[in-house]
């Protein structure tokens, strides 16, 4: 694994993983549908047929239910949004400390859908955590090509550029994040950009 270079600045942490949902299972209660999961480990109430295996898995996942892994595997076996299911399973494996399994899940997602945005973005995060900045950068850059308006990927890409000493490229990425992000989130990019510009001036002396 590549060694992370020390920044001459205090770098904020990167943005975390992004769950794939294809707008399924979002805000079901707001749409007038009953919340079938009252507690994290509550028994599963029989779901109406209008919910697909992936939707069931996603609802469990969003509520932190430990049965989500099993449900995603069922969705994969059923061929229901398998690329998304592998992606979200990869996040769960990563959070459980199973990096090797997480890599496999994200890779399987990309085998099914080579331009799966969330899997590229999440692989970037996983490689970042494993200190392989070259591959983190690669997957973040692919993610940017697929979805050029998702702000978090620009911030994480900016951090990678900064860590490997590409300060100008870091400023470009962080400025793009600043343009797309909410005002509150943009502040940390402003601070980092100022410090990077200061480092560039110091190097130029």
pLDDT, tens digit, 9 for 90 and up, residues 160-181: 999 999 999 999 999 999 999 9
The residue range of the domain holding 39 is 20-113
Tell me, yes or no, whether 24 and 95 share the same domain. yes
28 & 109 share domain: yes
* Co-location of 105 and 187 in the same domain: no
Please check whether residues 106 and 24 belong to one and the same domain: yes
| Count of domains forming the chain | 2
The answer for residues whose C-beta is within 8 angstroms of residue 116's C-beta and 6 or more apart is 20, 83, 84, 87, 109, 110
- List the CATH number of the domain containing 186: 1.25.40.10
Residue of higher predicted confidence among 48 and 137:
137
Q: Which residue has the tokens 């990309």?
A: 110
Per DSSP, the three-state class of 6 is coil
pLDDT confidence of 128, banded at 50, 70, 90? very high
In a domain, 125, yes or no: no
What pLDDT is recorded for position 23?
57
Same domain? 109 vs 27: yes
């Amino acid at each position: 694994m590549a060694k992370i270079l020390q920044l001459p600045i205090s770098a904020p942490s990167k943005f975390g993983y992004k769950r794939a949902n294809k707008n399924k299972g979002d805000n079901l209660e707001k749409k007038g549908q009953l919340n079938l999961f009252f507690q994290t480990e509550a028994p599963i109430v029989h779901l109406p047929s209008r919910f697909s295996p992936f939707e069931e898995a996603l609802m469990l996942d969003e509520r932190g239910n430990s049965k989500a892994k099993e449900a995603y595997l069922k969705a994969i076996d059923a061929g229901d949004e398998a690329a998304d299911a592998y992606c979200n399973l990869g996040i769960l494996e990563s959070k459980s400390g199973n990096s090797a399994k997480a890599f496999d899940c994200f890779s399987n997602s990309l085998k099914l859908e080579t331009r799966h945005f969330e899997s590229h973005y999440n692989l970037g995060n996983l490689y970042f955590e494993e200190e392989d900045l070259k591959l983190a950068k690669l997957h973040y850059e692919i993610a940017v090509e697929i979805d050029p308006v998702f702000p978090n990927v620009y911030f994480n890409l900016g951090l990678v550029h900064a860590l490997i000493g590409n300060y100008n490229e870091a400023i470009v990425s962080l400025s793009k994040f600043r343009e797309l992000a909410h005002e509150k989130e943009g502040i940390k990019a402003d601070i980092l950009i100022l410090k990077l510009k200061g480092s560039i001036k110091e190097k130029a002396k």
